[in-house]
Structure 1
Amino acid sequence: MPGLMLGDAFPDFEAETTAGRINFMNFLEIRKWGILFSHPRDFTPVCTTELGRAARLSSEFTKRNVKLIALSIDSLEDHHSWTKDILAYNCEESSCVSLPFPIVADSKRDLAVALGMLDPDEKDKDGMPLTARCVFVISPDKKLKLSILYPATTGRNFDEILRVVDSLQLTADKKVATPADWQAGDCVMVPPALSEQEAASMFPAGIYIKELPSGKKYLRYTPHPNHKSLTQTFSVLS
């Protein structure tokens, strides 16, 4: 199913993984978020650092009710062997003794093709396109909520993935938006669709409006929903 768009129902599939055969939707479970992230090949340096980083951050994803699953276009046997390298890499910084998420085997590239994961500009020694570094964030209603597509040559920033998960979860629960470089706990923005009266009733902690040359009052900030006053907002914006 190439051309997967934000808001689309994420396609279900069955696959062999390092944790056994799975049905993807059953793996994600009810009321959980999911992240599927893909890799060009096993035993490659950038991928090894990425999977190592994801393993070290697994507790952070668990706190956010997120299940991780990786995909690479090699065999299950290679995945199991590669896992030992990933864990050995991690031994420098953590005591992780097993990979806390499965890796999907996609040696025929069926899923990579179906999900639009191939990078046409990067090819293997046989001239076949490599899998790009895709990140798909899937909401509890099993819809695609965020897609980040890196070329095969560029490693992901997992701190950024955690940040966008925080934003997605907050904005799914509250009628707010998050500005550039937002971090969990920072002030948030009032969406333009809300009138001044609606915003005032929804955000009793107060609203700060940034004055602009146009005179339009569309830059409206309010404290993070867990905060009680505008003190932090003013300190950030004034």
Structure 2
Amino acid sequence: MTVADQPTPTPPARRARRADAARNRAAILEAAGAVFAELGGSVDVREIARRSGVGMGTLYRHFPTKDDLLATVLEQEFVSWLTAAHQAATATADPWQALTGFFEQTLTNQARNRALVESYAATGGPSQVCAEQRDFVLDDLRTRCQRAGLLRPGVTTADLVLLLTSLSQTVQADDSRPGQWRRLLRISLDGLSSRNTAPLPEVGGTAEATQ
């Protein structure tokens, strides 16, 4: 290799600018996560800039609109707590405790994040990519419980997804009855237990179709 063929090293000044930009972006995302969770998606972005210690120009260079910032924060936090919940479930030897713990941890995280609650109320749930990751985790937990004989016969992954979605809607309305979702979660989980052996109704069956 000749001298001309060797890659040109990045100047120190450019590396420093890149490092500064990365730090600024991380600071914005950290501050935005806290602000959105506390105050919701309608918060003024100037509060985010203030808490992150950057100017408005810097904030807008990284995120041209508040919607861009909100979407990035919500997806990042969703993946973060989903990963943590899945790791906790995987580390739990008892399949039933793993499943119930996942529901508890997921809904607790939602209840603590005002912007997430608002977003789900408006859109019906997470993005498709996030939903697919969630469904993969639920399918794994369902399989573990069924193999151990702990889950009611006939329960599907789609049932667990629908249950989690329904309870998420309860979390969204929790201001009027704080803690209601925990009560409904306990009732729902009891219904999933293999102690209940009665057949589940068919989805889209004749009786439903004629009503």
TM-score, normalised with respect to structure 2: 0.28
Q: When you count helix as a share of all residues, which structure comes out higher?
A: 2
TM-score, normalised with respect to structure 1: 0.26
* Structure possessing the higher radius of gyration over alpha carbons: 2
Q: When you count strand as a share of all residues, which structure comes out higher?
A: 1
